[in-house]
A and B are shown apart, each in its own frame.
Chain A
C-alpha cells in the first residue's frame, strides 16, 4: 500500500512539537506584513516518525543491499563517519565565529587539503565546491581566468570525449565555453587524430575522465596531455573515478592541471538519496592563485609546545566564491575520518581491491554478456545488455529484473557510445560472496532472456511498486500535494 499524501495525514489543530513560551515582552507585529494563512500540515510526532520510517523502508540503499551503480562508487559508508560529524565541536559551530574559536575545524580542513594535494599530486586544493558538478564549474572557471589573465581571450574551446558524463559539456557551456566532442578509438582511448585537429590557438583545454566512463585507463593519456599542453591548453581531470587511482597514480604527476575529487564517491561520505556531495578541486602550481576563496592556511607556525594557528586567505587572482561559507564541512569531517583510518597503505589497497573486484565480475560475465573494449578494466566496466537471440530484451529489462533478486541495477544507457549499456561498478567493500551472487543473478537473467523474456519485460515483480508511467508524470506534472488548506475556526 502506498503511503498517503502528507496533507491527508493532517488534522486541524493537532500539535506536533512545542517550543517554550515567550519569556520577554511581546513586540508589536509588523503592520501589513503578517501572514494570514500558513498551509503547513498539522501532525503528531509519532505520525511523522512512522511516515518517514515506512517511507525509508521502500528504498534500496547500501545498508540494505548491493548497489553496483556505475560511476557512483556506492561503497560502504562507515558509521564512525556519522558519529564524528555530529560531535558538538563540529556540528554546533557557526561558520562566522572568530577564527581563534574554530581552530579545530580549520586544522581539519588544512589537513584534508594537504592529504588531497598529496593523493592527487597537486600544489593547491580548495574544499569549497559543494559537489562534483560544482567542482567542474570551479575548474573550468579557473581555466578561463588563467587564459584571460594572459590576454588569451580567444581560448574558449573545450574538448570533451564522447564517453564523458553530461555534466562536462553542461559545465563548459555554463562557463561561456564552446564544446567540441572528441571521439574514442577502437580501444576506448581518446582518438589522437581527432584531438590533433582541434589543437589550435582557440583551445582552452580538455576535460578528461581517466579511467574513462568505460572503466578503462586511457592508454594515450600522456600523449593527450602533451598535445593539449603544446597547443597552450590546460587539462581538466574529472575525478569521478578516483576510486581506481588512490596510491596507484597521481593525476598531477601525469600532467593534469586541475581535477575535482568527489568526497561522496571516493572517500565514503554518504550519498544521502542524492546529496549533499562535496567536490574539492586540486590544481597545479600555475593555477593556485586562481582558486576560489577562502582557503585555509597556517597564519603562524607552531612548534613542539604550541600548535600552529590557522586562518583563511584569499588567493590573489581568485575566481571568487562558488557558494556561501566554506564548503560542506560536515562532509569534510567524514572524509577525513575515512582517510585517517586508511592511511597511505590503506588507500592504495582501496583502489587495488576496487579494480580486483571489477575485473573479477568482468571475468565472470564476459562469456554471457558482450563487453565492448574487453581488456583489463579499472574500478568499473561496461557490458551490453542485448543478445541477437533475445531481440525483445533491452538493458532496462535486465536492470528491472535484477531488482527481483534484491540488487540495485547498474547504470543504464551510459556511456552513450555503448549500445544498451550496463555500467557496473562493484566497489572494494563487497565480498566475493556478494559478487558471486550478483554474477549468478545476471547469468540467470541472461538465460531467462531467451527462455522467458516476458519475465524480464514485466519485471520487477517483488518491489514496492512496479514500472512507473513516466509519460503520465511528465504530462500531468503533479509536483506537489495541496498541504492542509483547512483553517482554524
Chain B
C-alpha cells in the first residue's frame, strides 16, 4: 500500500497535501483499492464555497460501492479538478497525483493537528485489517 510520507491523512481515507496556508485533497491508495474499479466521481463543492471539516466535498462510486469524500479540515475552495469526472479511473491509477479533487485555503489551520501522519495512518490501516 502506497502511503507517501509527506502527506496528512484522515481515518476516512482522505489525504491532504499542505502547502503554506493551502491544501490539496484526494483519497488514498487504500481507499481506491477498497472501492476497486471507480466508474464515477462527482465533486460536490464549487470554487468559492466555504466548507467545514467533515462536510462532503465529493462522491466516488465503483460498481460495488459508493463513498463520500469529506473535508479533512475546514477551508475555502480555491480550485477543483474539473477533468476528473471525465476519467474517474485515474483515481485507481494515480490517487495522489492526477486524481487530486479539491484545493482549499485553510480557514481553521489548527484543525491540521487532528490529522494523522503517514506512520499513524499505516498503523490505523493495520488495525482495521
Contact = CB atoms under 8 A, between A and B. Distances in A.
Interface of A: 470-471, 473-475
Contacts of B39: 471, 474-475
B63 interface: yes
Interface string B36-47: 010110000000
Nearest to A413: B64
Contacts, number: 11
A315 to B, nearest CB: 38
Contacts of B89: 475
A471 B37 CA distance: 7
Contacts of A473: 63
Nearest to B63: A470
11 contacts: A470-B63, A471-B37, A471-B39, A471-B62, A471-B63, A473-B63, A474-B39, A474-B40, A474-B63, A475-B39, A475-B89
B41 to A, nearest CB: 12
A372 B37 CA distance: 30
A152 B63 CA distance: 41
Contacts of A471: 37, 39, 62-63
Nearest to A471: B37
Contacts of B63: 470-471, 473-474
Interface in B1-54: 37, 39-40
10 tightest A-B CB contacts, nearest first: A474-B39, A470-B63, A471-B37, A474-B63, A475-B39, A471-B63, A471-B39, A474-B40, A473-B63, A475-B89
Interface residues of B, number: 6
Interface string B75-91: 00000000000000100
Nearest to B89: A475
A455 B37 CA distance: 24
A471 B39 CA distance: 7
A475 B62 CA distance: 10
Interface in B60-114: 62-63, 89
A333 B83 CA distance: 55
A474 B89 CA distance: 12
Contacts of A474: 39-40, 63
A27 B39 CA distance: 52
B46 to A, nearest CB: 24
A107 B37 CA distance: 54
A235 B62 CA distance: 35
A470 B37 CA distance: 10
A471 B38 CA distance: 8
A344 to B, nearest CB: 44
Contacts of A475: 39, 89
Nearest to A476: B39
A332 to B, nearest CB: 36
A46 B89 CA distance: 45
Nearest to A396: B64
Contacts of B37: 471
Contacts of B40: 474
Nearest to B37: A471
Nearest to B39: A474
A457 to B, nearest CB: 16
A460 B57 CA distance: 40
Nearest to B61: A474
Given A474-B63, A475-B89, 4 more contacts: A470-B63, A473-B63, A474-B39, A475-B39
A471 B61 CA distance: 11
Nearest to A477: B39
A471 B89 CA distance: 10
Contacts of A470: 63
A473 B64 CA distance: 13
A471 B63 CA distance: 6
A306 B114 CA distance: 78
A478 to B, nearest CB: 14
B77 to A, nearest CB: 26
A475 B37 CA distance: 10
Nearest to B88: A475
A475 B63 CA distance: 10
